[in-house]
Structure 1
Amino acid sequence: MRNPERGIDFPQIVFTLMLITLLIVACFWVVQPFILGFAWASMVVIATWPLMLKLQSLLWGRRSLAVVAMTLILILLFVIPVALLVNSLIDNSAPVIQWATSGHIQIPRLEWLNEIPMIGEKLYSSYHKLVAGGGGALMTKVQPYIGRTTGFFVAQAGHFGRLMMHLGLMLLFSVLLYWRGEQVGNGIRHFAFRLASRRGDAAVLLAGQAIRAVALGVVVTALVQGVLGGIGLAISGIPYATLLTVLMILFCLVQLGPLPVLVPAIIWLYWSGDTTWGTVLLVWSCVVGTLDNVLRPVLIRMGADLPMILILSGVIGGLFAFGMIGLFIGPVVLAVSYRLVSVWMHEAPAPDEDPEEVVEELAEIEADHEAQQKSAE
């Protein structure tokens, strides 16, 4: 089976590839339970690595003290809040699901439309004609889907044991990566350089920038806005403040901001006659709603600017693919892929020719080819 001209042993190549494939599949099978936790830890460590180095310089250059400090920071600012939010979401979700599926949702009458000058009566009449023409039937059909959608999001958070396991793995891997971060980074860069020379090394560095951009510019901003908005709701006496906080974090992750939750809460306070707390929440909402305009640019400068549609797709797709953890991992996967493809595309210059000229040139080539075929016949 050896090629006499080139000296290639085809069975040896086939069996070698089969053995390598078998080893890769076996390794993936073994580490599969730890992949999400390690990916989560990698994102956290890459995003907070500059902070860890600053702490190390402040703590007399001792890496062990810096690792202990970063571990405490992760527990206090990340692990405990996420665990409490998910636990509260599970405890308080039953009344919401029951209300959403009980059939008590009705189309509002919107009596206040009559008070609008000049066009109010027409708007009110047109609205009720629409409702009478099938709005009630539409709400009856939509009702089950509201309950299913609510139940889906709660079910994702309901895998509390799995989420806590990944949180624990994330914390463990974060400690290990903080302790040996330079060695791990150099090892990854060496492997990438071995695969694709300087281009592979550049790909790893670009991936790190994308991860830092998502972690700092998107996730941290969403957590800060959501938590501050939730504090305002709790102080103002809004019921189910924890559930609304989780909802605000989700809205901030998909770049809708906290106002879709805060504005109805303000209206409800004014409607119930609590104008004092309504005004306080209004002022607080103005601060929280505009915070991302200041915080996100500062954080994104530490990484790489990314399209918002990419972040939106990553958040929603990650939620469906990986559950609650996908809210953080999904945008990172798309961001890294986007950065690598973008750099690969820009290695070649963009076409500067007129599209019409290109089409005409192709048409001429095709016409010449047809003419040659006819002449050959």
Structure 2
Amino acid sequence: MEHVTPPPPTVPAEADRHGLARTALVLGLGALGVWILHGFLPALAWAVILTIALRPLYARFTRAFPPGRHNVVGPALFTLGVALVILVPLAVAAIQAAREAHDVVQFWREIEESGWPVPDFVARLPFGAAQVSAWWQENLSHPSGSSEMLHRLDRSSIVGFGRTFGSQIVHRSVLFCFTLLTLFFLFRDGPAVADQGLSAARRLFGPRGERVARQMAASIHGTVDGLVLVGLGEGFLLGVIYVFAGVPHPVLLGAATALAAMIPFGAPLAFGLAAVLLVAKGGVTAAAVVVAAGIVVTFVADHFVRPVLIGGATRLPFLWVLLGILGGVETFGLLGLFLGPAVMAALVLLWREYTEGDATPVA
């Protein structure tokens, strides 16, 4: 049998070597860039989310008032509007909290000097009133018991918490400024950036990559409508109910309800607190009205309005929207409210195209 000499190993072509080198360079530079910017990635992500959410409104504005040569006025106005929408409620809440802090300090001093008498609402509790009243009289009604319980708080821990809170405020303020700066440039150069992103997705992953990118953008826009706008609506309606029910500080509690309602199952905590405050004042009937109205408003919002706004924009079943929101919040914090559904929408789109084919492209 004739011996056959195996062919020599194939040497990679020069073009292949250059391609591998370019890929390694891109991956290395990309990883380095992410590492350098990792502290500012939340600010960049928030700017992208706000740009996607406000893009239709900004597009109508630019059609009515075409941008000039430098295109500065429109982006500056929208960036300023976003800053005011976020900062004004925070300023109002801070002013209200500062006013309440004086009353809290005064109340603290009165407790240390004369004790904390049993509140009137304890006697009106539906069950356990006698036990609660006896415990209160034994531990809080006399100055020595109140002072002992209050001094159990570690003052050094309170000071440490204050310092940590202050540093967090500074850090969040810096990130917010970078978010606004990025938002301005995204408003100004948004169409060019979007075209470049879609072109990159198309070149890297083909038409499917562009469809996934569009689906994620639609998911973010639908999630903003379904969470933020519906949450603001819930806060407004329940705030009006707070006013008529006599809830203390109805505007502040209404704003807190709106923020809590942006997270699924968060609104009951807010109107539950309002009901507790009413019970403490003796308004059991008003508290029942607040709870009943809160259940009705949140039921309608969570089961009818949100599924239409979010699921209609993303073609995503509301169960996956809910799982994306809750999982996103647990993983990324508040930012996960919008990133979670976007990732779920991309995964569901890829699954549908894998199982059903590309016959029905997603707009």
Q: CA, structure 1 residues 93+23, in 2 after alignment: closer, same or farther (shift >3 Å)?
A: farther
Summarize deviations over 1:111-146 as a string: whole Å, max 9, x none: 8556xxxxxxxxx8xxx9xxxxxxxxxxxxxx99xx
Query: Paired residue for 1:187?
Result: 196
Residues 113, 342 of structure 1: alpha-carbon distance in 2 compared, 3 angstrom cutoff: same
1:146-181: CA deviation from partner (whole Å, max 9, x where unpaired): xx9xx99x9789711122222222222122111111
Residue aligning to 1:335: 341
Partner of 2:61: 55
Seen in structure 2, the aligned counterparts of structure 1 residues 201 and 156 have a Cα distance that, compared at 3 Å, is: farther
Structure 1 residue aligned with 2:329: 315
> What's the CA shift for 1:227?
6.1
Q: Secondary structure, in 3 states, of the residue corresponding to 2:49?
A: helix
Matched, 1:5 2:10: yes
- Correspondence for 1:80 among 84, 88, 99: 88
TM-score, normalized by length of structure 1? Answer: 0.62
Q: Does the 8 Å contact 2:232/2:259 carry over to 1?
A: no
For residues 178 and 32 of structure 1, the distance between their equivalents in structure 2, rounded to whole angstroms, comes to: 23
Q: Distance in 2 between matches of 1:157 and 1:197?
A: 48
Instruction: Map Cα deviations across residues 71-117 of structure 1 (whole Å, 9 max, x no partner).
Output: 23212223432465578779979979xx9xxxx9xxx9998556xxx
Indicate conservation of the 8 Å contact 1:214/1:332, yes or no. yes
Unaligned runs of 5+ in 1: 115-123, 129-142, 320-326, 351-377
Show the 5 A alignment for 1:226-305. Answer: 226=235, 229=238, 238=247, 248-249=257-258, 251-266=260-275, 268-269=277-278, 272-273=281-282, 285=294, 289=298, 292=301, 296=306, 299-300=309-310, 303-304=313-314, 305=316
Q: In 2, are the aligned partners of 1:45 and 1:177 still within 8 Å (CA)? A: yes
TM-score if structure 2 supplies the norm length?
Answer: 0.64
CA RMSD for the aligned pairs?
4.9
Superposed CA offset, 1:347-372 (max 9, x none): 2337xxxxxxxxxxxxxxxxxxxxxx
Comparing 204-213 and 48-57, the one that deviates more: 48-57
Q: Residue 222 of structure 1: CA displacement?
A: 2.5
Residue 269 and residue 225 in structure 1: after superposition, are their counterparts in 2 closer, same or farther (change >3 A)? same
Kept in 1, the 8 Å contact 2:257–2:267? The answer is yes
- CA distance in 2 between counterparts of 1:40 and 1:166 reads 10
1:40 paired residue number: 46
The question of whether the paired residues in 1 share the 8 Å contact of 2:219 and 2:310 is answered with: no
Q: 2-side partners of 1:6 and 1:187: how far apart?
A: 36
Whole-angstrom CA distance in 1 between matches of 2:178 and 2:220: 19
- Aligned with 2:12: secondary structure? coil
| Conservation of the 8 A alpha-carbon contact between 1:92 and 1:240 | no
Match of 2:264, SS state, is coil
Distance 1:261 1:12, change over 3 A: closer
Q: Which runs of 5+ in 2 are unaligned?
A: 1-7, 109-115, 132-151, 357-363
Q: 1:331-356 deviations in whole A, cap 9, x for unaligned?
A: 32222221121111112337xxxxxx
- Counterparts in 2 of 1:106-121, with a 5 A limit? none
